[in-house]
């Protein structure tokens, strides 16, 4: 396997497998521990797995609140005319509004069918564990006529990046064992090939799928290498935090390991010290001890230490106790380690006693969680751009498969989609919002024309913003008709 992958890529996969084992708890500070021969007891080996808790918390901050897909229409009419009373959208603006709505409906359709909220929460954990990131692969299911979004950890992916542009994938290979005995290796490959000359040529994505044995001998050719009819590889790489020009970055989990291991060691030592304090070593002096007839260890037990011998001395029994004098020092040390662990992960340690102040407003709450909010928003920068690319690939993939007999998506909507595939992902922090303050803020933004009604509904967390928006328009027109004795024409709803 190492010869086929190359030593660098093979080592990368091995290292990332270890990181996943760390997250699962199979690999820890005690994995390679060997008990010293001079110790006559089994030392305590505690594993708290703090990194897993912090990784889960990091992912929850990013995607615990469901992200929404929106496609805002371009403004084609004169903004000065659009704010005038009685404004009616031009035919071009009407067409653009309808086109944006069609894109949003198609994308929302695919997202909901693929349970993207659930999948993104899991993918955020993969991204935090890995050095390389996580990969989303698009697959058109010919049996159901629908697009699948399949997520893969970096341990299953071998990506070949363009030598000039690291964001472009020239080849992507997915590999995984199909059985626990590791005798059948599945491999799915995508190749981005330039066909023709520089002026009139174009990119073409080719696909190949096969099964190999453990010696990498071909067993079954599932798909011969052929064109997919796409000019892009239907794979999106969501990288970790990295520097410019790099294809891999830094693992969130990896930077927690050293401190977490020290906590496990010190907690285990603390546990052993407590055992020795509770069950101290018994020291017998001037006593003829018979191992075959040991002293009884029980409450109220009576020991016969024998008679005093002038040559040996008076028999005696005592406990070797330390007094547990290091208790404050070890607890202070563990507190510092845990604080350091949270500083590295940027997940704050919040003491519930700090919140017992008779109420805490929205701004104070955000200040309390400022570090994790900043980290979450930095992660959203990456997720925003990569999910926008994924949405573009979804629409382009739909266009390429719309003539398939089982194609299930609304072709009338797809016909409205032009070459502008722009979309926006609306994220939300899992904070208990001050709803009154939020509504007041959104109301002011609408009044000052800094936000649309539909955008405000989305930000408020309401489901089906478009449906709720239409309900508001209908109620507004109904009130106007009831209160207007001259029965004026209702407001047009398409421009709201």
DSSP-assigned letter for residue 316: E
Domain boundary among the residues 328, 353, 378 is at 353
CA dihedral 268, 274, 277, 283 (to 10 degrees): -30
Category of 348 on φ-ψ map: left (φ > 0), alpha (ψ -120 to 50) or beta: beta
Whole-angstrom distance, CA of residue 379 vs CA of residue 366: 17
CB of 89 closer than 8 Å to CB of 100: no
CA dihedral 366, 370, 373, 377 (to 10 degrees): 120
Q: What share of the chain is helix, strand, coil (3-state, %, to 5)?
A: 45, 15, 40
The position carrying tokens 């407590």 is: 274
Work out how many domains the chain is built from and give that number: 2
The answer to whether position 110 is within a domain reads no
Please list, in sequence order, all residues whose beta carbon lies within 8 angstroms of the beta carbon of residue 185, skipping any fewer than 6 positions away.
175, 176, 177, 178, 211, 212, 213, 214, 216
Q: What is the pLDDT of residue 154?
A: 95
Please list, in sequence order, all residues whose beta carbon lies within 8 angstroms of the beta carbon of residue 479, skipping any fewer than 6 positions away.
none
CA geometry: angle 453, 459, 461, nearest 5 deg: 110
CA geometry: angle 437, 449, 377, nearest 5 deg: 55
The answer to whether position 445 is within a domain reads yes
Q: Element (H or E) spanning 134, and its range?
A: strand 133-141
The answer to whether position 469 is within a domain reads yes
The answer to whether position 138 is within a domain reads no
Q: What is the pLDDT of residue 320?
A: 63
| Token pair in block for residue 161 | 């990046």
For the stretch 105-110, contacts whose Cβ atoms lie closer than 8 Å and that sit 24 or more positions apart, written own/partner, are: 105/410, 105/413, 106/394, 106/395, 106/398, 106/409, 106/410, 106/413, 106/414, 106/417, 107/69, 107/71, 107/391, 107/394, 107/395, 107/423, 108/69, 109/409, 110/146, 110/147, 110/149, 110/394
CA geometry: angle 55, 177, 204, nearest 5 deg: 90
The answer to whether position 333 is within a domain reads yes
Domain boundary among the residues 301, 323, 353 is at 353
Q: pTM for the complete prediction?
A: 0.81
Whole-angstrom distance, CA of residue 315 vs CA of residue 301: 17
The answer to whether position 298 is within a domain reads no
Cβ neighbourhood burial of 107 (10 Å; 0-12, 13-18, 19+): buried
pLDDT tens, per residue, the chain with 496 residues? 667 778 888 899 999 999 999 999 999 998 988 888 877 778 889 999 999 999 999 999 999 999 999 999 988 888 877 777 778 888 998 999 999 999 999 999 999 999 999 999 999 999 999 999 999 999 999 999 999 999 999 999 999 999 899 899 999 999 999 998 989 999 999 999 999 888 888 999 999 999 999 888 999 999 999 999 999 999 999 999 999 988 889 999 999 999 999 999 999 988 887 777 766 667 767 677 777 777 666 655 566 666 766 666 677 767 666 666 677 888 898 899 999 999 999 998 876 555 555 455 666 677 778 899 999 999 999 999 999 999 999 999 999 999 999 999 999 999 999 999 999 999 988 876 555 566 777 777 777 666 777 777 776 666 666 667 667 766 766 666 666 655 555 555 544 4
The answer to whether position 100 is within a domain reads no
CB of 368 closer than 8 Å to CB of 429: no
Q: What is the pLDDT of residue 495?
A: 44
The answer to whether position 338 is within a domain reads yes
DSSP state string for 1-57: -HHHH-HHHHHHHHHHHHHHHHHHTSS-TTTT----TT--S--------HHHHHHHH
Q: What is the pLDDT of residue 496?
A: 42
- Interstrand relation of 235-239 and 133-141 (parallel, antiparallel or unpaired): antiparallel
Distances 296 to 210, 279, 284, 303 between C-alpha atoms, Å: 70, 14, 14, 8
CB atoms within 10 A of CB 402: 12
Parent domain of 457: 440-483
């Amino acid at each position: 396997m190492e010869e086929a992958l190359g030593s660098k890529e093979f080592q990368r996969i091995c290292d990332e497998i270890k990181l996943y084992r760390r997250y699962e708890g199979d690999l820890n500070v005690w994995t390679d521990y060997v008990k010293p021969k001079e110790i006559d007891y089994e030392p305590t080996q505690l594993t708290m797995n703090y990194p897993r808790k912090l990784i889960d918390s990091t992912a929850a901050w990013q995607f615990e609140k469901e992200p929404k897909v929106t496609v805002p229409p371009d403004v084609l009419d004169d903004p000065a005319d659009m704010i005038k009373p009685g404004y009616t959208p031009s035919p071009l603006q009407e067409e653009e509004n309808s086109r944006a709505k069609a894109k949003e409906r198609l994308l929302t359709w695919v997202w909901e069918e693929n349970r993207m909220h659930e999948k993104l929460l899991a993918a955020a954990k993969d991204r935090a564990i890995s050095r390389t990131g996580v990969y989303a692969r698009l697959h058109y299911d010919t049996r159901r006529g629908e697009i699948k979004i399949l997520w893969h950890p970096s341990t299953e992916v071998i990506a070949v990046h363009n030598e000039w542009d690291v964001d472009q994938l020239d080849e992507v290979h997915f590999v995984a064992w199909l059985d626990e005995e590791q005798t059948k290796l599945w491999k799915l490959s995508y190749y981005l090939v330039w066909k023709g000359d520089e002026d009139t040529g174009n990119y073409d994505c080719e696909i190949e799928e096969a099964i190999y044995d453990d010696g990498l001998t071909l067993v079954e050719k599932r798909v011969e290498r052929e064109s997919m009819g796409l000019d892009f590889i239907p794979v999106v790489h969501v990288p970790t935090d990295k520097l410019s020009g790099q294809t891999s970055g830094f693992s969130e989990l990896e930077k927690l390991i050293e401190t977490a291991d020290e906590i496990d060691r010190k907690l285990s030592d603390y546990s052993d010290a407590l055992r020795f304090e509770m069950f101290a070593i018994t020291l017998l002096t001037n006593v003829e001890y018979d191992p075959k007839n040991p002293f009884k260890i029980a409450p109220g037990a009576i020991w016969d230490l024998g008679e005093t011998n002038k040559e040996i001395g008076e028999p005696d029994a005592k406990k070797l106790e330390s007094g547990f004098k290091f208790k404050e020092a070890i607890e202070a040390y563990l507190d510092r380690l845990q604080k350091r662990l949270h500083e590295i992960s940027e997940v704050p340690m919040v003491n519930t006693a700090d919140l017992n102040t008779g109420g805490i407003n929205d701004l104070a709450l955000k200040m309390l969680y400022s570090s994790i909010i900043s980290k979450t928003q930095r992660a959203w920068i990456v997720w925003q751009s990569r999910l926008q690319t994924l949405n573009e690939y979804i629409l382009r993939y739909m266009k390429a498969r719309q003539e398939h007999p089982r194609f299930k998506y609304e072709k009338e909507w797809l016909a409205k989609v032009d070459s502008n595939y722009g979309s926006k992902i609306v994220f939300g922090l899992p904070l208990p919002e001050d709803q009154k303050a939020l509504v007041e803020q959104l109301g002011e933004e609408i009044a000052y024309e800094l936000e649309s009604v539909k955008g405000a509904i989305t930000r408020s967390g309401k489901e089906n913003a478009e449906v709720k928006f239409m309900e508001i328009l209908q109620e507004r027109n109904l009130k106007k008709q009831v209160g207007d004795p001259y029965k004026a024409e209702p407001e047009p709803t398409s421009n709201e």
